[in-house]
Amino acid sequence: MTSPRPSPSAASVLDLAPVLPVVVLAEVADAVPLARALVAGGLPAIEVTLRTPAALDAIRAIADAVPEAVVGAGTVITPGQVADCRAAGARFLVSPGWTDALLTAMRASGLPFLPGVSTTSEVVALLERGVREMKFFPAQAAGGTAYLRSLAGPLPQALFCPTGGIGPDNAAEYLALPNVVCLGGSWMVPADAVAARDWARVEALARAASRLTRAGGTCR
């Protein structure tokens, strides 16, 4: 088994970048050129989701060949996956939801992590467990910017990376919220561009996304 890689210097996933590309890779061969295109476009933090059999090998390939990238694992839903992702070289973890067992495993990994929430009760439960930084998923379906804005008053200590249904048309609206520090999206890695291996297009979309600025996180 590959020895675990060191953690990134950032203590928080939210500190890595204002926009976190959410990547689904069916072919390991696409991992390195895709990562290089995203880095060249100004988005060094990359979330590779565990939605395909190629995901762990893709994380390993990026970690080995693109040291300037900060590659992480998304769609992490079991403690076993936490260990596998760390061994593959993942430098942060993102989950769509959480349980106590998963939360314990992510903490024990020593990696920055974002557990997913979509309700106020889940946010309060994580705050009770000492977790302030969360993924809000599925963002648009769960209430979007109106919901997050409503949480900022009673729960200002909670900070979010919304993901799901976010694109260039509404990204700035999310980043303007006081409790949003970064956001996740896949619009800079469209499936047709990846299938065509059009890395120049990916780089251009990444460069446009990297110009977004975050106004949130004022309660950090």
Catalytic residue numbers read 47, 135
φ/ψ bin of 181: left (φ > 0), alpha (ψ from -120 to 50), beta (otherwise): alpha
CA distance 216 to 96: 22
Identify the burial level of 17 via C-beta atoms within 10 angstroms of its C-beta, where 0-12 means exposed, 13-18 middle and 19 or more buried.
buried
Closest C-alpha among 142, 161, 6 to residue 95: 161
Extract the tokens encoding 36. Answer: 């290089």
How many residues would you count in the chain? 220
Extract the tokens encoding 5. Answer: 């890689």
62-87 burial string, b = 16+ CB within 10 Å, else e?
Answer: bbeebeebbbbbbbbeebebbebbbb
Extract the tokens encoding 205. Answer: 């979309």
